[in-house]
Each structure stands twice: as C-alpha cells, then as structure tokens.
Amino acid sequence: MKILVTGAAGFIGAAVSQYLINRGDQVVGIDNINDYYDVNLKHARLDEIKSSTAADLFSFIEMGVEERDKMAALFEEHKFDRVVHLAAQAGVRYSLENPNAYVDSNIVGFVNILEGCRHNKVEHLVYASSSSVYGANEAMPFTETERADTQLTIYAATKKANESMAHSYAHLWDLPTTMFRFFTVYGPWGRPDLAYYKFVDAILDGRPIDIYNHGDMYRDFTYVDDIVDGIEKCLRKNFKNKIFNLGNHRSESLMNMVALIEEGLGKKAKINFMDMQPGDVQKTHAGIKYSRQKLNYNPKTNIKDGIPKFLEWFKYYKKNYS
C-alpha cells in the first residue's frame, strides 16, 4: 500500500512510519518541523528511519497540513491508498498560551486532510484524537460510548471538533474514517515536553521536578509500541466511522512512575509539590473492551517494563545526538 503519514517527524508518526516500511508499505511522510520542541530530536527520528534497512520505501516532505494548496497537490500527485493523520499542534498546556496555533494545525489542517481524502478516493483515513476529549468526565474507565462534551482545553476542543468533522465526511461522502483516542503515550524517541521525559532530564541534572495536585495524579500510561500496534491493526480494516480508545487499561499513580524512574537512574528526585494546573485532570483510565473486540488490540507493555526501555534510549540519545 501507499500510505501518507502526517507528523512523520513526531514521536508516534516516526514510529508508525518505521513500522509500515518494515512491513513493506510505501510511506510518504510530511511534517512542518516546527519549533514547539527541539527540532534536533525531530531530525534525529527522521535520520533513524532514513538509515534503516527499509529506507528506500520512505520519502519525506517538509510541509504543514495547514498549507491548503500544497496539501491538495500532494494528494493529487500520490493517490494514497490510506492516510494516517498524526500531525497536530501538540501540548495541552501550550494551548492556553497560543490557541491560534491549534486552530491552524488542528482545525484548518484537518479540513485539508479530509478534502484530500474525499477528492482522491482514499480507502481509509485513520487519525489521532486524544483522551483529553473526555475532559471533566468522572466515570472510570473512559469508554467510547460516553458523551464527551466537557473539554477543558483548546487542544481537547480541537480534537473533539476533528471527530465531528470526520463523522460528517463519513456520512456525506462515504469516507471510511477511524479515530483513536490515545492515552498518555510514552517510550523511546518521546517528546521532551512530556512529564516523564522532563523528570528524567531534571533528575539527572540535579534540578527539581514539578508534581501537580500534590502528587494525587493518575494516568493510563501507554507504551508507544502498543499504540503503533493498534494503528496497524486498524489499517487492515475499512471502518466507516469508528472511535477507539488506545490505552493500557491501567490507571497508574504518577508517583509510581517517578519511583520507577528514580530506581532506574539510581538517583532520587527533588520534588516541588504544586496545585493542580488549569485544564488538567486528576485521573485517566482507558476502557479498551471495544478495541479488543474490533481490533484484537492487546497492549503488552506496562510501565515497569516501559520505563527502563525509555531510560535506555534516553542515554543512547544523549550520547549520540547531544
């Protein structure tokens, strides 16, 4: 298959691109390489793909999904079989500071993706939503059948808007679409703005880490390989309009993650306990019964195994790329 992967220099996008070319698919990756976080990490991810044994199946174009004319030309030229849309302005907290960036990338950009798929008969569009769309919901675990109308950040609101837009295109133009609500993805090549990455970097450097809600925080930490597995299994199918949770189905204490990092590094953290931040939630927990039934999705990596893998990669990256 010929597959477009947007956000190919990103954490999940690079992992998906590598997986797909390894299995023999032709991948065209795009990314605007913005400076929301260190662009050197983004280029390093691409370098890893380009140096792999299946690199001849991967091509990369630096461009943003919000660039309407370029996106239309890209779809027209390549006639993709499938699209994996992972490009977005990331970061829940940054959306409080710069909402326009989220509208440009997550709303305008998504319309361009939908239009490209519609006019070029793409067989299946799969794309990233987020567990943040559950917002103020309190019933645990979060399930796809719950109403999700109480988003707490601009980022979450744009993701919920994407789901509604995709539903409309599926209804009006029979476009097969599948949306994934990802739960706190972590692992090698992860984003440096995420908590676990910042914790490791700060602890090694002797700096204190900030822990919000005075440590009373729980997240469904999901290892990146399990996310890739869920996406790949979905690409084999042609759902018309489905939503799936991709999580680990475990709500883990943030303090437990900190303890695992301390153990792996052999160094204690200096901790600043702080109040809850605006837009944050105290707990997430993925209900994955539907994903198990329809996708045969079965997450395999818990944080006791995943955190050591991240620490091993972190040391490799700092040695070879810093």
Q: How far apart are CA 84 and CA 235, in angstroms?
A: 9
Count CA atoms closer than 13 A to 216's CA, side-chain side.
5
Euclidean distance between CA atoms 29 and 60, whole angstroms: 5
Q: Which of these is catalytic: 37, 102, 134, 155?
A: 155
d(CA 309, CA 175): 38
Q: Is 155 a catalytic residue?
A: yes
Alpha helices in 84-209 (DSSP H): 99-102, 109-119, 154-173, 195-205
Residue whose pair of structure tokens reads 């925080």 in the numeric block: 217
Classify residue 203 as exposed, middle or buried by CB count within 10 Å of its CB (0-12, 13-18, 19+). Answer: buried
Residue 264, beta-bridge partner list: none
Rounded Cα gap, residues 206 and 28, in angstroms: 41
Annotated catalytic sites, by residue? 155
